[in-house]
Amino acid sequence: MIDAYLKAFMVLFVVVDPVSMAPVFMALTHGADAAYRKRMAVKGTLIAGGILFFFLLIGDGLLSVLGVSLSAFRIAGGLLMFLLAVDMVFPKTLGMRSPNQVERIEAEHRQDISVFPLAFPLLAGPGALTTLMLMLPANERGDPLHYAFVATVILGVLLITLVSLLLSVRITAWMGETGANLLSRLLGLVLAALSVQFVLDGLRSVLGS
């Protein structure tokens, strides 16, 4: 079971991509002072955590109300994550992970970017929400211990993300845009393989039932 949670941590880490988020955060807070960046980083991470925990609690019930099986969601989620992986490898193809030009202009004129676009869709976007629903097989769901472990996974990724945002100036200066892009592409390849595995698991569950 520990292996499943380590895999879940890896997937969520790759989807959120805390290190590569540093240059994006710097772009969104361009010209702001250190106090503002710190406030936005802390607030945005807390809001993203609230979104993720809320979806973790209601996700199963929402699927049940909609009549969507976990296998179907696993296949759809795997396909969505594959598109996200393609976007990480070829960022100009889809533009799913970075704010578009309109969003950047809107963010520049906002005093508070913590909710939009930082918390959603950058940190707690569709890819991260989908990951929460794909962390364990159906027979593990509903177990309080499962939710405790998943909460630990979320907290771990968010803590790394917060540190990355707080150190965004140093990370951006050290890695540069080229280094951040290279890391994002490498993680995209890993996410592509994991997303294909999710689709295969969903198909295996459907064909085996």
Q: Say if CB 87 and CB 97 are below 8 A apart.
A: yes
**pLDDT on residue 92:** 60
What is the DSSP track for 55-93? HHHHHHHHHHHHT--HHHHHHHHHHHHHHHHHHHHSHHH
**pLDDT on residue 176:** 78
Q: Say if CB 47 and CB 189 are below 8 A apart.
A: no
pTM: 0.78
66/197 Cα distance (integer angstroms): 25
Structural domain boundaries, residue 79? 2-204
137 within some domain:
yes
pLDDT tens profile 124-144 = 987 888 888 777 555 455 678
More confident of the two residues 88 and 40: 40
209 within some domain:
no
Query: Residue 21 pLDDT more than 70?
Result: yes
**pLDDT on residue 117:** 85
pLDDT tens profile 91-126 = 665 555 555 555 555 555 557 899 988 998 889 987
As for how many domains the chain has, the answer is 1
67 within some domain:
yes
67/161 Cα distance (integer angstroms): 34
Question: Which residues are CB-contacts of 101 (< 8 A; sequence separation ≥ 6)?
Answer: none
pLDDT tens profile 42-71 = 999 999 999 999 988 888 788 788 888 878
54 within some domain:
yes
Confidence of residue 29 (pLDDT cuts 50, 70, 90): confident
Please give the average per-residue pLDDT across 165-189, as a whole number.
Answer: 85
What is the percent of the chain with per-residue pLDDT over 70, rounded to a whole number? Answer: 86
9 within some domain:
yes
